[in-house]
Amino acid sequence: MIKIDGLYKLFDGKDVLRGVSLGVRKGEVIALIGGSGSGKSVFLKHVVGLMKPDRGRVIVDGMDMSTLRGRGLTSLRDRLGFLFQGGALFDSMTVFENVAFPLKEKTKLNDDLIRERVFNELEHVGLSGSEYKYPSQISGGMVKRAALARALVTDPEIMLFDEPTTGLDPVIGAAILNLIDSCHKRLSFTGIIVTHEIPKVFDIVDRVAMLHEGIIWADDTPEKLMSSSEPIVRAFVGESANSSIRHQSGNTVVRG
């Protein structure tokens, strides 16, 4: 469904992506992990065509995103959903208006049907009762859930999540991941989750890819990655898992 082949991207003379290659099969959800500034978000923006690669190809459902323009790009984007790190809700609109916006602009559904679908979607993400609040009036977790509802309301075939739990407390973060999992079971989308939420995210993905030094350093099932003996993978996955355990146990140090 998604195939990235030899993706290069240079920013201010620095190689952020140095030949990234990765494939995601239809219906599969993968987690993309890696250190801060390793280029995960840049990678995701290439997948949706917000950035153009210096070299390499991004093939989504047989179409090359790096050369796609105009209607071809628009029709492909109609099948995509993207959850931004900050939510990217339109701050002059209420939660209801935000979620209804893509339906109003991209479909011919009447107002009653749009209302019904928006209310259903908001119920799925646990935002019933907050329909008429503005993004500035709700918490960070609620913004993420509203953004998730907006991304999912058009039933996308491909969903991309850019750090869906960043800035949220562990309970809300886990709730967002569970929500993504339940939405995947409901809609069967193909997905890429960029995240630091290790090891929690491993429970809801089929594969984990690790981006390091501009390339895919490791790409395997969560179980195999957790038991990897590769030092860099061990350092990243092991330390993240440990810090998660320390965090969950109320700062009590539990090493292992």
Partner 1 sequence: MVLGFQGFYSLSRFGSDAFLGPMVGLSLVKELGPVLSALMVTGRAGSAITAEIGIMRISEQVDALELMGLNPYRYLIVPNLLAVVISMPLLTAIFDVVGIFGGYLIGVKLLGVSAGTYFGEMASYVDMKDIMEGIYKSLTFGVIIIWVCCYKGFYTGIFTGFGAEGVSKATTQAVVMSSVLILVWDYVMTSLLF
Interacting residues toward partner 1 by CB under 8 A? 48, 50, 74-75, 77-78, 80, 82, 84-86, 88-91, 101-102, 105-106
Q: Which residue has the tokens 């209310």?
A: 119
Report in angstroms how near the CB of residue 172 gets to partner 1 at its nearest. Answer: 21
Half-sphere exposure for 204 (CA within 13 Å, toward CB): 26
Report in angstroms how near the CB of residue 106 gets to partner 1 at its nearest. Answer: 6
Report in angstroms how near the CB of residue 105 gets to partner 1 at its nearest. Answer: 6
Question: What is the DSSP annotation of 170-183?
Answer: HHHHHHHHHHHHHH
Report in angstroms how near the CB of residue 39 gets to partner 1 at its nearest. Answer: 17
Asked if residues 106 and 154 have their Cβ atoms less than 8 Å apart, the reply is yes
Report in angstroms how near the CB of residue 87 gets to partner 1 at its nearest. Answer: 8
Tokens describing residue 45: 């923006």
Q: Which residues have CB under 8 Å from 19's CB, separation 6+?
A: 6, 7, 8, 55, 56, 214, 215
Where residue 44 falls (left for φ over 0; alpha for ψ -120 to 50; beta otherwise) is alpha
Beta strand segments in 48-188, E: 55-60, 63-64, 80-83, 158-162
